[in-house]
Structure 1
Amino acid sequence: MKINIYLTLVFTLILSTYGCQTTNNSEANLDITKNLDYCVQQANKTIATIQSDKPIVRNIAPGEKDWKTISYKDWTSGFWPGILWYLYEYTGDEKWQTLADKTSRTLFPLATRSATDHDLGFQVYCSIGNGYRLTNSPEYKDIILKTADTLATLYNPTVGTILSWPAMIEKMNWPHNTIVDNMINLEMLFWASRNGGSKDLYEIAVKHATTTMENHFRDDYTTYHVIVYDTITGEKIKGVTHQGYADESLWARGQAWAIYGYTMTYRETGDAKFLDFAQKVTDVYLERLPEDRIPHWDFDAPNIPNEPKDASAAAIVTSALLELSGYVKDEKKSTYYRTQAEFMIQELSTDNYHSNDKNPAFLLHSTGHFPRESEIDYSIIYADYYYLEALLRLKKLQEGNLIIDPSLEEQLSLLN
């Protein structure tokens, strides 16, 4: 479905004027520049400690000071270079551009190696995608286009989704499995389809989002983590969890991916059904939040409030809500979404969640994979990425600017 120019102009107007609205108390209490400068300070600590031959970081255990480093193949490998690009965007300091470029280049092999899972969007678009946005490098563009084609090899037209974990076909007897996280990787396909890649990539992304919308959610709009499909009929076999508490529980970060993913899909398509769905998956998440607006790792975990928090889920939702608030035409609801985002970012910016001198990350208290007892109450790189993204988005809104680049608006209008 091609975007309607009228819709494009409407949400451009909303986004461009939203930052001029009167700020509320939560926003007034938040010093965005101070918190962005804090991120610069913490990132400087990181670059002072990591080795040049191991430039990509993932997590810091509670009580530890040093980042665990990873290879470019790890699913989180795009977030640290993405942070470096965001810091360059904020500061204009070429130091960050040089570091971002060097680190992003370590991910280039992902473009042409066989796809081993769905995470190529996280890896390449969060890093090199931001690099291209800020530099217009033809080399970056070529890498993104090749990576989008590689990701598309995992698409199953019978099912209508991208396969998430090929390894789980035999390991778990999941013939075709799709996880809600996969929604984030569609952004790279949308981008590629309008920047020289095949138009089929657009159709794949829309079909994946639609199929996921139809099969991945319960009647109350909470999400399963994994949906298993029959490869012969394309029918849904079952919904299960991998990182949540139970198959029928609400894993917090899974719902966060849905909120972010469907907000982005509306932006890329202009299709009102995706905007409506983004609000439905958002509303159930917000209704179930604790008072401090930061979720526990699973909303149905048995020992709440004595369960670990997940700052990463909060950071993802904060960033998404700032964008979603600009698309919603009902002023009351739009204000509600933005206010909730401001409350979340305010809490994440307190000493309760800032790492400060405890370690060089931005945030504490994220939960990676509780069932495997992995990364529980850690500092995790993707929490930092989306926190920084949210700060930059709020800064743009306050200045009366677009969250997304004006060049994207022009490209989207050409799709009509």
Structure 2
Amino acid sequence: MSQRRGIALLVVAASLLSGLLFLRWLLDPAYLVPKVLAMAGNALGLEITASGTGDYRLRGTPQLTARNLVVREPGSAAILLRAARLQVSLPWSTLRFRGAELSIHRVDLDAPSLDVAALQRWLAKRPPGPTRIPALTRGVGITGGRVAGEGWGIDKLDIDVPALAANAPLRAHVRGQARTGTTRFPLDVHATLTSPASGAGLGVVGILAIENPDWKFPSDFQLSAKLRTKQGLRLQNAVLASRSRLSYGSNEFPVVLGIATTLRIDGDAVHLAPLGLATIGAGAMPTLTSGGDFSADGALRFALTGELASWPNSWPALPLPAGSAASPLPFRISYQGPADLSGLVTLDIRYDRTEFEGRFRLPQVMDWIDAGATGSPVPPLRGTVRTPLLEVSGATLEGVEIDVDDADVPDAPVMEGP
């Protein structure tokens, strides 16, 4: 072997060794994982980092794992998203074409925590135009997630999406527990979208409960609507039907509920307007039809005008004319107060020339109903009944006005309905 050939072989060997060392460094998780996250962040206008030990797999289906993930806007201290683990598996074609073919097998997130305000700020800065949706042939999995809003949140959030594609139906199983104040909303639902786009049809079926320290209201429900995502989130032409049960103290009251409305979400506020509400109830739950509006932004506000099919026997008795309690009764009800319904309710009842104007707190009235014969004969409310004619024990009274004045119920002006 000549000296020149020996030198050439040494150069080739050194080059191969250098290439292998460079490839080993390039594929080192300590380099590769941050590099891939940085590339994804640049594409989204976000800073994506992972302080935990990363990992990757190239055999079979390429797979990348990042731990202690943190996502924020560049230069911002506010964290948009953090997660204990992110795992992405994707086909070789996505790597080969460097993302031009946006296809991913599956994305899994463990213990993600999303800040809604930070998300909204980022979305507001996104360029206009259609959003490019990647194909996720094996879907998305989220376990132990949290969502933090202003005055509300969602805990124990689990989401399973079997597959995601731009022009295909999207199905999801969602479990979690929403909260605001002392009120909790456990849910376990299956949802379907005709496609992941604005204007798609939405169907939801499952279980949703409203739980307060004093009462519970679980429901089996089904919902259909048209989803609109431009200029906020709306559920247009929404129709909900449920079989529900109010549990309070030792009593349980079943009710069938129907709602027709347009639901609109603006930031942390939820609005239902116009709202049509009908119920078929038993016990303390009335049977009624009504219309009005509803909003929630930490506090609750609603105003309904409608007709009671009859006055429930378990409600505080009203000195109405004979036979009127079993007849349809026009009413107007309004509320503005805490989400646990502990605030002041205003109720107006009309029947012919007889009228009742009253105010009460729902928990106190429910306690009074629960006490039954062992409680006070006078209901805990403040109000006035006026009737031109009233029969009592065979006697006929004219121009009757009866005042009920509970000291625990504040004197307040009657709120106007819609």
State the TM-score bracket (shorter-chain normalisation): under 0.3
Which structure's residues are more often helix, by fraction?
A: 1
Structure-1-length-normalised TM-score? 0.23
Identify the structure with bigger relative contact order (alpha carbons < 8 Å, sequence gap 6+): 1
Which structure's residues are more often strand, by fraction?
A: 2
Structure-2-length-normalised TM-score? 0.22
